[in-house]
Structure 1
Amino acid sequence: MFIQKKYIINPHFMYMAGQFDRNAKLCTIVTELNRTFIVDKSPLEILNDSIRCIGFDLRGAMETAKFLLGNKYMCPIMVNPIHKICVFPDKSSIHNDVKWFNPVHIARTFSSNQQAMIEFTNGLIITVPMKLYSFNHKLQTADQFRKMMLSIEQDPFSFEKDPRKGA
């Protein structure tokens, strides 16, 4: 499999997952619409590099998501508002094998053997070891967050924080 030294998330990005190489270094398997390859960086390094390309950082993106969505666990992250790329994790980002998904390329989800099956727009189907309901909830939150960020971009003064949430 082809190994890249660096990678910036682009509109073809479908999902990525951490995986250790033979030297026990955390790398990332990235799947785009028409190719899969390994990047010699961790998923969080790829996220940070991708967000830095537009002048922000991963920590700020995570804080913005928590501010807008409430103090939710495992918030989605806006990677690139210019290309409308938002990603969400299937589990906490502290896990090395976390998968990060781009909701734009998820065509449908269904259940098989008590696990979530994800079908992408290019026909690829993968299994995620979690309940379908949990995965769909994360997917819906990410999609709502993406739409929220895009509406704030269109008219930043139209956004008001809910006073019941304490801000």
Structure 2
Amino acid sequence: MKRNRETMDFIVDFEVNPYTMAIIGEKMDNDQIVYSRILEVEREFFVKMKPSMVMDKSCKYFGSSLRGRQEGTKQLIGSTYKAPIAVDPSSDIYMFPTVSPYKDNCAWLSHSYILNFQSAGPDKTLVTFTNHKTIILDVSKGSFENQLNRTAQYRFLLSKRISMTKSNKKQTRDHFYDD
């Protein structure tokens, strides 16, 4: 969808945060530049960066990179195509792409904010967020559902691994002090 630049709010710099629901690649007017429309719980704005750049910058803010997070996902669940990522597992920020993450029209959605979804026609899905805002994405309901489920699986396995590591660390520490 093309938008009129004068009617939208723009910000210069942005990282994904616990209030980010979606990052959607869009072009404006006759511009060839791709912007990211950012949907947060209580506001919406644009940033002059492609979604993949926003995601990479956000991952770097939390100590990795988009490629690094994707490699971590591959290691844990074997998924490489449209892999969900943990932008920051300590803040419970898990996101998934709707198409190849490096395409300009990619949308990244936060797993935590998806309330519901339904078909909105051929290769279109209506997504309802927990704040009841809705968007229509250019992705089939089946593909969207697969991405949502894969993210849930990844989230569960990573959380399990993190808590096992914490438990092992505590046992090791307790054993060390018992001696």
TM-score, length basis structure 1: 0.86
Unaligned stretches of 5+ residues in structure 1 = 159-167
The structure carrying a bigger helix percent of its residues is: 2
The SS at the match of 1:93 is: coil
TM-score, length basis structure 2: 0.81
Residue 119 (structure 1) aligned to one of 128, 148, 168: 128
Check the 8 A contact 1:9/1:47 in 2, yes or no.
yes
Output the CA distance in 2 between the equivalents of 1:26 and 1:126.
18
Is the aligned partner of 1:129 residue 2:138?
A: yes
Extract structure 1 runs of 4+ deviating beyond 4 A. none
Task: Give 1:79's aligned residue.
Answer: 87
Task: Give 1:27's aligned residue.
Answer: 35
Inter-CA distance 31–133: structure 2 relative to 1 (3 Å threshold): same
Residue 106 (structure 1) aligned to one of 99, 109, 114: 114
Unaligned stretches of 5+ residues in structure 2 = 1-7, 168-179
Output the CA distance in 1 between the equivalents of 2:159 and 2:86.
10
Task: Give 2:23's aligned residue.
Answer: 16
Alpha-carbon displacement from aligned partner over 1:52-73 (angstroms, at most 9, x marks no partner): 1222111110111111111431
* Aligned-partner residue type, residue 97 of structure 1: N
Alpha-carbon distance, 1:10 to partner? 0.8
Check the 8 A contact 2:25/2:107 in 1, yes or no.
yes
Let me know the Cα RMSD of the aligned residues. 1.8
The SS at the match of 1:75 is: coil
Percent identity, aligned pairs only, is 26
Output the CA distance in 2 between the equivalents of 1:71 and 1:140.
12
Number of residue-to-residue matches in the alignment: 158
Is the aligned partner of 1:3 residue 2:48?
A: no
Check the 8 A contact 1:6/1:46 in 2, yes or no.
no
Check the 8 A contact 1:5/1:41 in 2, yes or no.
no
